[in-house]
Structure 1
Amino acid sequence: MFQKRREQLVSRMQQQSIDVAVLVPGSNMYYFTGLQLKQSERLTVVAITAHHQLYFLVPQVELTKVDLGNGGTILSYSDEEGPSQAIQQLKKELGTAQTLAVEFDTMRVKEQKAIENLTYDTLCDIGETIRDIRMEKDEHEIALMRQAVQIVEESLAATLPIIQAGISEMEVAAQLEYEMRRRGSEGTPFGTIVASGYRGALPHGRASTKKIETGELIVIDFGAIYKGYVADMTRTVALGEVSPTLKTIYSIVKQANETAIAAIKPGMTAHAIDDLARDIIRDAGYGNTFTHRLGHGIGLSAHEEPYMMQRNQLVLKPGMAFTVEPGIYVQDVGGVRIEDNLIVTEDGYENLMTYSKELIIL
């Protein structure tokens, strides 16, 4: 699998006359090599050449995580000696590269300083090429995303019964994260959002010490990670009966969500899907309260291509995975967001989520 992905990357590199691509720890390194690390004080890079060579420059403490089953050469170093000698080895292996490509979005100054020791004429960004490759998910990736979705849906169902007047948003978030962990989640891809009452008007209202009260809507936006792949879910629930205004807002957002999803198919553009949801909210008189894009891509990252937003002319293709999450946020009143995870299929879409979108009253 990883070798096949590298072949795709090498083919693009050859088309663009790129001699070497250097990747840093993160989702791209994992996608092409299987090495799953986070950036730390210890230098780690992977070099992939246009001649299909693969080099891992890693600290000795991480050697057991490197799988050479699909080829590759390890250049390691101890904490005591540092990476200088390993970098010189890599320089010798690579020789002179006319064009060297790196990840402008994620490379730190630390890694940049290290590659300055390599010999090359031109430096360019490999990010756009990689984003394009990763945008269309294969069946293996989709299967892992289905598992991640199952984790978030089951965890929400297990958490809702604890919500009652007087419980804090943080307590709800903690229970939710516990439920995801016990079902196999490797962690959370972003800070869990539990925003009740007036705090629901904050699109990114991280869980706080606020106590939840009867008659409030509660926006719950959270995610799980299963074998590297992300599920991102939002449901808005009510504690007791809520006002007619809040019920109306909920029905508008639900209609916007369902209308946008129903139109998903190959050939549609990202902005056209966004427009469908945005028009419903605007026509209902709440246009200025929908303050973010309709959705974002999901996969190894919580936010990646494609972005479902105004002016994005990207044409949808089978395998693309993204969220649809319209929202209305009224200051001092509350907010509603409903989010599903979608896959574009050959003739339409698959909604990975099955959780009810009817207003749940606790």
Structure 2
Amino acid sequence: MRRGACEAEPMRGLARPALRARWCRRLWALPARAAAASPAPPTGASPGSGALNPFDRRLKRKQKNWAALQPEPAKCDYLREEVGGRIADRVFDITRTFPLALDVGSGRGYIAQHLTKETVEKLIQVDIAENALKNAIESEIPTVRVVADEEFLPFKEDTFDLVVSSLSLHWVNDLPKAFKEIHQVLKPDGVFIGAMFGGDTLYELRCSLQLAELEREGGFSPHVSPFTAVADLGHLLSRAGFNTLTVDTDEIQVNYPGLFEVMEDLQGMGESNCSWNRKPLLHRETMLAAAAIYQEMYGNSDGSVPATFQIYYMIGWKYHESQAKPAQRGSATVSFGDLSKIEGLLKRGKK
């Protein structure tokens, strides 16, 4: 199992399935009928006041439900399935069987399809979107599906041997509280393995839109959701009570025909922006300018454009007295100064 403090893996590419392109005037927004049905911000949570609760969780539920009801939702699941597989690989790195596991923000079950019943005997999937759970991908593991908010887990303390989460926690308003909830429902010596989007996700799209708005409208508004910095992640997990932490980063690059296909797939993933301060509509001229800037600044030689998704992977354990502990300070029997002598003796032995 990976135990380094912070490691970076090389960027990997991911093929985007061919999808029918269509004109889209919204970035990370719902279709007109669904957007009109979304509730207004509650009192005290106007678009300009989202410091404590930056995301509209009710809107996020609508977005995920809408995406799950599309005729072919699997067409936009390629990124979630890839990351779900990498989470499963980290589960397999731990050589034990987990009698009961929890998948927080499971969506359609992107982790479960890669796991086996020899590793996880029973799984509970939790998500805010009931349609995603109804259309979940079947797996060989006995599964119970529960509609609940990731911020308020409806389970007793010390319940699960394993908690996993893939590409869901970046939409949580109170991430420290969510980590504490996960820590609480874990049994002692239980492990949490998760993945969430990092701060460099979609930087190409963000820069292109900002430059286009500055040029055409004289200013810009946020169109891409705020993300957690990797430097904060270990601290938040430690504050929640986790130990033996591992945080590593990965980047997945997906090539698209153009900017509009990027936005179309984000919408199909249920990854539309749900920030209170979002700007739901963009002018046609601004969108066309952004597409041209995207192509000019980042375009590939074959005419496609890349979209980079930065992924933070995290592993944390709940304390148990049986876990290995660091040695007492001053208990070493060999000093670092003796290492050079050992190296010299080894060189002499080779001669």
Higher strand share: 1
Question: TM over 0.5: same fold?
Answer: no
TM-score by length of 2: 0.29
